[in-house]
Structure 1
Amino acid sequence: MSKSVTFGRDDIEELLFMLQHTNSPALCRPSRIRAMFASRACRKSVMIGRSLSGTEMSTLVRNMGRIDQPWNCPHGRPTMRHLINLSLLVHNETGPS
């Protein structure tokens, strides 16, 4: 059990099958567990329309740069609405040099 998700016999059987057929047991995640993690990740994400500070934007872009496919969430929803060069934004806020 994990929060509101209760795992059953099918989940255990899937896990055992995966463990028998893999070289890296640490990466074994049955489909129901992957779906649960994907759902939680989406719910914790930054939603469209939320204002972010410059620091939050920089951190977000840096973290997304570490992801294999940053353009979609695990469910396939787009993760980017606008992309801009942060150095241009900082330059424009400070005025022309």
Structure 2
Amino acid sequence: MTVVFTLTFGLLAAAGLLTLWRMLRGPRTLDRVLALDVLLVLIVAGVAVGMAASMRGLDVVLLLSVALLSFIGSVSAVRLVERWEEHR
């Protein structure tokens, strides 16, 4: 299982780097907001894999609350950007 966890962390890290590139290079604000949401999902997935690797399941509530706050923040940011672009 160590190989699986290492491979998973490597793939999540590669996806994180590509997401950071999109966040910095994104042509529109909505692209950057979406990239931030994807990055937060990747972080939550990385923490979940770390919990599985260490055989600890105590932080599941914390993981779910971070995922929920990430979703609510992304929806709020998209609404704000849409309103801001309408007024331009």
* TM-score in terms of structure 2 length: 0.41
User: Which structure: larger Rg?
Assistant: 1
* TM-score in terms of structure 1 length: 0.38
The structure in which a higher percent of residues are helix is: 2
Which of 1 and 2 has higher RCO (CA within 8 Å, sep 6+)? 2
